[in-house]
């Protein structure tokens, strides 16, 4: 079910099936969205519930990422910067988007919708024979493969991501991935390995049988591993299980903590978004905090001809944050991941890492639900075609 928002939020709500949806139902959907980190959806649902205040919406997202007991307590200077970034780079752009055009918003977080891009479907159809043959040989549902292709490349065999991954399924960084058959073979094998070798046995040790869960849940777990690594998923499930509910593995306090441990995110990929709009003084202070350099030394290096070298400051921050990323991930500790000590709780991590590193984690986290939802949406589209519905 979708609600169209835009062209005057009140009018849009009247044109939508909102009257069929109770306020309590929307409130529950809002809580689900916050718990799963679907921030744009949460903002849209808040609008439907009559919450349009920018500061209150920013508070909603900000405190959903921290322990509720921290609410109503004074923010540290670092937390204030995080709050401002959420307001300027998430809440305000989302409000602008929803206010300027009619935007479909799914009522249910659990539902991934049914709409697919016919152009993507047409592109994927070119490889049907290869997909079916390889999926059958590797004992993977061919429609899952199609879903991964839709999310990873949109059916473009020549796609190359900023991270260097290439081809239809973005399975590897090698040039042979531009060959559709090689990419489909390696991507399907990668999915199978995540499912059968890396996730299955260890989830079973946590009391979760991957073979007995429903298809959507299995695909969400395995494709999240495909996107961020099996260590990320396993640690998130482990943290959630220790907290009493393994189903909450995507909650920020579990999944973001797991990302810090695994390193399954990219500082460089997130940097453009995280550093956008920051002035020279802010960048210089961030660099001073991260490097423990004297601010005057930074000024002598980057304040040239009476103006800040913004790009130089950004690159220096990125380089330092990458060093920080290496220190926190388990590989930087020289131990096997299942034997490495866990990082502290997320609330404590935030106090110890740079704003840029935490923003990079948030950047990855924010995009994960959309990625897995797209895979499932296309998979379900092909399942309906297969069943004749």
Diameter of the chain measured on Cα atoms:
69
Helical pair 355-387 and 310-328, crossing angle rounded to 10 deg: 70
Beta bridge pairs of residue 172: 166
| H-run or E-run covering 106 | strand 103-106
Over residues 205-222, the pLDDT tens digits come to: 888 899 898 999 999 999
Range of weakest confidence among 12-21, 34-43, 85-94, 193-202: 12-21
Residue with tokens 């895979």: 375
Residue with tokens 């973001």: 256
Could you give phi then psi for residue 308, rounded to 5 degrees?
A: -75, 140
Residues 6+ apart with CB under 8 A from 168: 127, 149, 152, 153, 155, 156, 157, 159, 177, 180, 183, 184, 187
Q: Which two tokens stand for residue 332?
A: 């930087």
DSSP state of 160: B
Output 72 or 320, whichever has higher pLDDT: 320
**pTM score of the predicted model:** 0.73
Residues 164-182: b if buried by 16+ CB within 10 A, e if exposed: ebbbbbbbbeeeebeebbb
Residues counted in the chain: 389
Residues 6+ apart with CB under 8 A from 115: 104, 377
Output 31 or 262, whichever has higher pLDDT: 262
Q: Could you tell me which CATH number the domain at 118-238+375-387 has?
A: 1.10.530.10
Q: What is the mean pLDDT of residues 240-261?
A: 93
Q: In a 10 Å sphere around its CB, with 0-12 CB exposed, 13-18 middle and 19+ buried, how is residue 59 labelled?
A: middle
Q: How confident is the model at residue 130 (pLDDT cuts 50, 70, 90)?
A: very high
In the chain, the percentage of residues whose pLDDT exceeds 90 is: 59
Query: Residue 352 CB: number of other CB atoms within 10 A?
Result: 14
The β-bridge relationship of strands 2-5 and 307-308 is unpaired
Distance, in Å, from the CA atom of 313 to the CA atom of 186, rounded to the nearest integer, reads 39
If we measure between CA atoms, which residue out of 317, 323, 331, 322 comes closest to residue 283? Answer: 317
Distance, in Å, from the CA atom of 42 to the CA atom of 38, rounded to the nearest integer, reads 6
Domain ranges of the chain: 2-106, 118-238+375-387, 267-365
Confidence (pLDDT) at 83: 84
Beta bridge pairs of residue 160: 166
Q: Which two tokens stand for residue 110?
A: 């659990």
Q: Which two tokens stand for residue 104?
A: 């479909």
CB 290 within 8 A of CB 317: yes
Q: How confident is the model at residue 98 (pLDDT cuts 50, 70, 90)?
A: low
Q: Which two tokens stand for residue 365?
A: 């986290």
| H-run or E-run covering 4 | strand 2-5
If we measure between CA atoms, which residue out of 373, 331, 372, 328 comes closest to residue 353? Answer: 328
Over residues 3-39, the pLDDT tens digits come to: 333 333 333 333 333 334 455 666 777 887 777 677 7
């Amino acid at each position: 079910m979708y609600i169209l928002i835009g062209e005057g939020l009140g009018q849009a709500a009247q044109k939508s099936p909102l009257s069929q949806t109770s306020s309590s139902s929307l409130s529950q959907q809002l809580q689900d969205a916050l718990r799963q980190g679907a921030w744009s959806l949460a903002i849209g649902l808040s609008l439907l519930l009559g919450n349009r205040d920018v500061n209150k919406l920013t508070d909603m997202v900000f405190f959903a990422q921290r322990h509720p007991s921290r609410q109503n307590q004074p923010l540290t200077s670092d937390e204030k910067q995080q709050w401002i970034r959420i307001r300027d780079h998430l809440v305000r752009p989302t409000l602008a988007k929803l206010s300027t055009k009619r935007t479909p918003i799914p009522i249910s977080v659990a539902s991934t919708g049914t709409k697919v891009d016919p152009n993507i479907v047409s592109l994927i159809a070119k490889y049907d024979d290869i997909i079916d043959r390889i999926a059958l040989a590797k004992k993977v549902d061919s429609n899952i493969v199609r879903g991964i292709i839709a999310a990873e490349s949109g059916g473009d065999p020549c796609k190359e991501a900023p991270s260097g991954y290439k081809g239809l399924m973005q399975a590897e960084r090698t040039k042979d991935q531009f060959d559709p058959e090689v990419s489909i073979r390696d991507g399907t094998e990668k999915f199978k390995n995540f499912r059968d070798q890396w996730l299955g046995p260890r989830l079973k040790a946590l009391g979760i049988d991957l073979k007995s869960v429903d298809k959507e849940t299995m695909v969400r777990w395995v494709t999240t591993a495909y996107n961020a690594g099996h260590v990320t998923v396993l640690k998130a499930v482990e943290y959630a299980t220790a907290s009493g509910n393994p189903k909450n593995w995507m909650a920020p306090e579990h999944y973001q903590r797991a990302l810090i441990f695994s390193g399954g995110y990219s500082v460089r990929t997130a940097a453009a978004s995280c550093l956008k709009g920051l002035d020279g003084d802010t960048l210089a202070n961030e660099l001073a905090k991260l490097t423990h350099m004297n601010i005057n030394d930074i000024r002598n290096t980057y304040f040239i001809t009476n103006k800040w070298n913004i790009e130089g400051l950004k690159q220096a921050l990125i380089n330092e944050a990458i060093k920080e990323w290496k220190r926190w991930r388990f590989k930087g500790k020289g131990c096997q991941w299942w034997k490495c000590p866990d990082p502290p709780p997320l609330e404590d991590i935030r106090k110890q890492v740079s704003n840029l590193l935490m923003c990079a984690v948030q950047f990855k986290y924010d995009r994960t639900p959309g990625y897995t939802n797209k895979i499932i949406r296309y998979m379900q589209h092909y399942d309906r075609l297969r069943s004749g519905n």
